[in-house]
Amino acid sequence: MATNTPDVRSQFTALRMKAPPVYLDCAATAQTPDAVIDAMDEYYRTYCANVHRGMHGLTERATLAYEEARKTVASFVGAMYTSEIIFTKNCTEAINLVARTWAEEHLQKGDTVVLSLLEHHSNIVPWQQLATRKGVHVEWIPVDKEGKIQTGEIDAILQRATVKLVCVTGLSNVTGSRPDIASMTKKAHDAGALILVDAAQLAVHHKVDVQEIDCDFLTFSGHKLYGPTGIGVLYAKRDLLRNMPPFLGGGMMIQDVTMEGFTPAESPARFEAGTPPIAQAIGLKAAIEWLSGYSWEEMEAHEQTLMTACMRVLQRMDGVSVIGPHSATERSGCISFTVDGVHPHDLTDLLGQEGIALRAGHHCAQPLHKHLGVPATSRVSFGIYNTEEEIDLLEKGMKKALDILKI
């Protein structure tokens, strides 16, 4: 299906309103198409039941839908086995699952976890907590003035440290830069380390194939992928999952329980204690199926058109400094910027009053902002439904806001 923006927008209730928002905050969460809402509504209205429990028709239908969602996600990322897909409540929990299971078991005092300065706090704090608990070292891959990873530094770190795990974003939620994950994976594996990819931003802007990049762990969330909130995904290689202890204890994650102890179930049940996010999984499946109706090539081309137009607007405004690569072709998803003498919160607040939705702050990436010498930025981020007309409205809104703020 061709990426026809009016046709795409017509599938979002929020964008069909009489005065729809100029929604440029997709990196925080995307709008949800009707197909996703309808799929979840059908579950709640017609076959609401718990999964894997009971023999009646409703639970069998719910279980089938839930497990079909797992198959859809496995196909979406190129997983070899459906058992390699674990449903979590968000991307953050998926990363924490790895930190609290695989890393807890396999990393010892003196071992090193490598992070890039591009990371979201979700891919920083769990490893800092691990360092506190176990005496693990955290090393940082620096970035240049455009916020791009300095790949030469990776080799130096891998040579001098006992690196067991490299954690890197697939796409920065601040600079929009996209590290060469396949290259970093090879470097990590050659050094005897594993790699975890935070694909929260990557999965919605570029096709992900875990076989091609050969990552060991990959995480993402549903709500950035036009799906519902309350669901995330962990992909992990099957052999790793077999040797990872359970993350949480309770129902469904066990094979057997006695008064003396328990035997955990195999993956994926081992890591999905309690009632899982059934409706959310069904919604995520619908989101992936909806998104799969469009070609990645056309979506990427549409996004580059928006990126180029927005970069031109920002770069010709006095006092505006774009954070990250200055070429639109070197970034995806978002553009963060500052304005001399204007706090990002003030600018974003005034734009919000005009119905233009941006994000302001450190975007859960304080180390990166500190490294770049800015406490906060304003961020524009795009989705499949955004238009060039909205970039024009952003330009008009910014001129109006800056006239007020610079008085």
* Contacts of residue 239, Cβ cutoff 8 Å, sequence gap at least 6: none
At 360, give phi and psi (nearest 5°): -130, 145
- How are beta strands 232-236 and 217-221 bridged, if at all? antiparallel
Report whether 183 contacts 161 (CB < 8 A): no
166 in Cβ contact with 179 (< 8 Å)? no
Tokens of 110: 């003196």
Preceding amide of 268 cis, omega within 30: yes
Among this protein's residues, is 48 annotated catalytic?
no
Question: With the C-alpha atoms ordered 52, 54, 57, 59, is the resulting torsion angle positive or negative?
Answer: negative
Residues 48, 310, 334, 364: which is the catalytic one?
Answer: 364
Residue 381 DSSP code:
E
Handedness of CA 242, 248, 254, 257 (dihedral sign): positive
- Point out the residues that are catalytic: 364
